[in-house]
Structure 1
Amino acid sequence: MTHFRPGARTVLNRRSALGGGVAGALGLAAAALPGGPTAPARAQQPAPTGTYRIDLHAHFLPPDYRAALLDHGHLTIGGYPTPDWSPEQALAFMDYYGIQAQALSVSDPGVSFLAGKEAADMARYCNTYAAGLFTSNPKRFGAFAVLPMPDIAASISEALYALDDLHLDGVILLSAYNGVYLGDPRFEPLMIALNQRRAYVFVHPAAIPDNAKPGLPLPDFLEEFTFDTTRAATMMMVTGMTQRYPDIRFQLAHAGGTVPFLSHRISLASQSVLGQLWPDDLPKPSILDTRNQISRFYYDTALSGSAAAMASVLQVTGRDHIVFGSDWPFSALTLPQTGSHDPAPGLGDIFDADQRMEIEHHNPLRQLPRLADAVNS
């Protein structure tokens, strides 16, 4: 039996530890900086008891995939040392933190560090591996399909196979591929296919190239990831992608990056003279409809389980659009080391037990009917 130790780091090889130690330490130091408010806005509410959480932001690294990452120099992901992963470790983690099931996905860089047939074969390997977990642990695992992006034709083929034949629960897309953000017309054929299947799409941030970002001594997962999610979401809205494909349900990682905080700024056009004079009986162009589009995203709690983050999300959408996420195993260093077995105690600063049950259990299962049937069977 694999035992999970709270706060314990997943196993790393020596090269991974050396490659990411500094970035990981910086991330922890930044998180511990004093000066911010420490008292909750109200008395913290207790979480529900039992193993009930459905985790829609959880990652996996099948053996051949992790080996390929390391062989291609990806010793860290977003500045975090590339972790080890196994089904046994995942189950031990879930059991400790009261997680009933996880919808697994491949994190940045997806399979885009490969090209052509190699990328397509690796995507197929990861998706088939995930489908195998449905057989070995049907009540504990779901999955979002990784696609061989930015090859659109190959990605459509893999998406259809993963959704129609493997019966995965949705698709994961990165915020950008080779500097091209979601919302770009080049992705249109894929969006058509996903919309036809009413797909659930998890939008996860990607690291931008070193020559395209400030040279700050901070790991990407600390800030840059949230900014890249924001860029992708904004591009999808202003280009009308979220309007044209209303049957795709998009989940934005980490409480939407900075989308809730910037929602007023992003929607300034609707508050201009153009927005004020636009006839009510005419469909609004995307630039004037951003408030509505922002409200339609789903926002996960991964690394965002705080009153500040969740209060911001609640200003732009309803509680029914918030879903639980742990970001494990990439969150292993940041998980609370308490006896409560609560992976996100900060949620209790703003939600009571019934509301947390809605966010951490009911909302995720409403979006993933295959997983809901498996969990409830």
Structure 2
Amino acid sequence: MTSSRRGSRFTLNRRSALGGGLLGVAAAALPVGGATRARAQQPAPTGTYRIDLHAHFLPPDYRAALLEHGHLTIGGYPTPDWSPEQAIAFMDYYGIQAQALSVSDPGVSFLSGKEAADMARYCNSYAAGLFASNPKRFGAFAVLPMPDIPASIEEAIYALDNLRLDGVILLSAYNGVYLGDPRFEPLMVALNQRNAYVFVHPAAIPDTAKPGLPLPDFLEEFTFDTTRAATMMMVTGMTQRYPNIRFQLAHAGGTVPFLSHRLSVASQSVLGQLWPDDLPRPSILDTKKQISRFYYDTALSGSAAAMAAVLQVTSRDHIVFGSDWPFSALTLPQTGSHDPAPGLSDIFDADQRMEIEHVNPLRQLPRLAVALDA
């Protein structure tokens, strides 16, 4: 595949974050199997081919509303600027063919009632407009006016059936109520009927409900909250009752791969061992299978350590590329390779990276796949 990148270099905003520079985390790259010898880095594919399933957007009125309501940071990261032109420049620099855009935490839940519903409709209609102006560069996941379930069902139906958005984004929890709670059942019915692709993104935890550590939420707390949501969806049977919904877990599933054995320990108990093979297994005994059915994105997780853990719990066709831009702008590498996730080459060869970064995402988003092929 030949490169179609523009010659101009994409310029990142280098303003200081979190009161002084970046907090860097270095991790050793370990291949599958637990060996201590790092695998030699493999060559990455070339060209503008990546399909980004974890990319955010902040339409003008939405960003203005965030700032007006005091959301100067998101997960501890300064609320960024965004425009279609900036997004396309970013994609061109990093070899990204198209992005499936979504509204990050806090969604529209900082509003209520009609204000929340109107803001969700504004964001979703804005995204649909990008399909018309840039059909080969953008897809989108619909934001819903959660936790208002009737209004969210109405907006999901409109966004999926009328606007033809590519899926839905849900936060891990709303007002402390996690996905998997029975209150969300009517929405899941509607999404299951539409074979929806659902991107599960972490939400910030109130300061009163977490340790008082001097760390931004996006470093650790976001990963833990994704894990809580995934666990609740599994143990309450939500992932069993709605098999037509494909759930994508942000940031390589948070800590789900690492905790997979612990989460499925009930199946190793006497109850699991004696359960009749010809009867459906309760969700608490079927956790391993449910973990394997999730989709895991590479956003802020493009390392051999993270991907090796994911490969232990699911197959490679359940891994999809994500950049987390523009919230990752300060952490993305700016190297001559124009590779947004060079650590993926510590564990995947070029063909495998093409599968993860192009084939797998488009398999889940048929509307976008058709648009790119037109």
The residue number in structure 2 matching 1:365 is 362
Which aligned pairs between 1:3-18 and structure 2 lie closer than 5 A?
Answer: 5=10, 8-9=12-13
Report what 2:129 is aligned to: 132
Equivalent position amino acid for 2:176 in 1:
G
Task: In structure 1, give the amino acid aligned to 2:222.
Answer: F
Q: Determine the C-alpha separation between the residues in 1 that align with 2:93 and 2:40.
A: 25
TM-score, normalised to structure 1, is: 0.94
- 1:57 and 2:54 are equivalent in the alignment: yes
Instruction: State the AA in 2 paired with 1:99.
Output: I
Select 1:112's aligned residue among 109, 112, 117. Answer: 109
SS of the aligned residue for 1:261 comes to: helix
1:161 has 2:155 as partner? no
Deviation of 1:41 after TM superposition, in Å, equals 1.9
Letter in 2 for 1:124: R
Residues 243-297 of structure 1: per-residue CA shift (max 9 Å, x gap): 0000000000000000000000000000001001111111000000000000000
Give the secondary-structure state (helix, strand or coil) at the position aligned to 1:143: strand
Instruction: Say which of 294, 299, 302 aligns to 2:299.
Output: 302
Q: Which residue, 252, 261, 268 being the options, matches 1:255?
A: 252
The SS at the match of 1:29 is coil
Which of 209, 214, 233 is equivalent to 1:212? 209
Alignment size in residue pairs: 363
Report the Cα distance in structure 1 between the residues aligned to 2:104 and 2:137, rounded to whole angstroms. 19
> Which residue pairs with 1:228 in the alignment?
225
Identify the structure with the greater helix proportion.
Answer: 1
Taking the TM superposition and a 5 Å limit, the aligned residue runs for 1:71-150 are 71-150=68-147
**Corresponding residue for residue 238 of structure 1:** 235
Percent of matched pairs sharing the same residue? 86
CA distance in 1 between partners of 2:84 and 2:237 (Å) = 39
Shift of 1:9: 1.7
Q: Measure the CA separation in 1 of the matches of 2:228 and 2:9.
A: 36
**For the residues of structure 2 that align with 1:363 and 1:236, how far apart are their CA atoms?**
23
Listed one character per residue, the Cα deviations across residues 145-168 of structure 1 (whole Å, up to 9, x for unaligned) are: 000000000000000000000000
2:62 and 2:293 map into 1 onto residues whose CA distance is 33
User: How far apart are the structure 2 equivalents of 1:61 and 1:168?
Assistant: 16
Which residue identity does 2:307 align to in structure 1?
Answer: M
Q: Would the aligned equivalents of 1:251 and 1:297 in 2 still touch at CA under 8 Å?
A: yes
Selected match of 2:337 from 330, 335, 340:
340
Runs (5+) with no aligned partner, structure 1: none
Any conservation in 2 of the 1:2–1:92 contact (CA below 8 Å)?
no
TM-score w.r.t. structure 2 length? 0.95
Distance 2:226 2:9 in 1: 31
Look up the match of 2:263.
266
CA distance in 1, matches of 2:56, 2:242: 26
Task: Give how far 1:3 is off.
Answer: 5.7
Deviation of 1:5 after TM superposition, in Å, equals 3.0
The CA deviation at 1:42 is 1.1
Following superposition, the deviation at residue 337 of structure 1 comes to 1.6
Match of 1:281 in 2: 278
Shift of residue 31 of structure 1?
A: 2.1
Secondary structure of the residue aligned to 2:114 is helix
Aligned residue in 2 for 1:349: 346
SS in 1 for 2:23: helix
Q: Quote the Cα distance in structure 2 between the aligned partners of 1:188 and 1:38.
A: 40
User: Could you say what the CA RMSD is over the residues aligned between the two structures, in angstroms?
Assistant: 1.6
AA aligned to 2:85 is E
- Structure 1 counterpart of 2:25: 31
CA distance in 1, matches of 2:40, 2:137: 33
Amino acid at match of 1:80: Y
Could you tell me whether the CA contact under 8 Å between 1:2 and 1:88 is conserved in 2? no
Shift of 1:30: 4.0
What are the superposed Cα offsets for residues 108-149 of structure 1, whole Å, 9 maximum, x if unpaired?
Answer: 000000000000000000000000000000000000000000
SS at match of 1:21: coil
Tell me how far apart the structure 2 counterparts of residues 75 and 4 of structure 1 sit (CA, whole Å): 28
What residue is the counterpart of 2:33 in the other structure? none
User: Helix, strand or coil for the counterpart of 1:311?
Assistant: helix
Q: 2:274 corresponds to which letter in structure 1?
A: L
What's 2:290 paired with?
293
Give unmatched runs, 5+ long, in structure 2: 1-5, 31-36
C-alpha deviation, 1:186, in angstroms: 0.2
Q: Distance in 2 between matches of 1:30 and 1:304?
A: 13
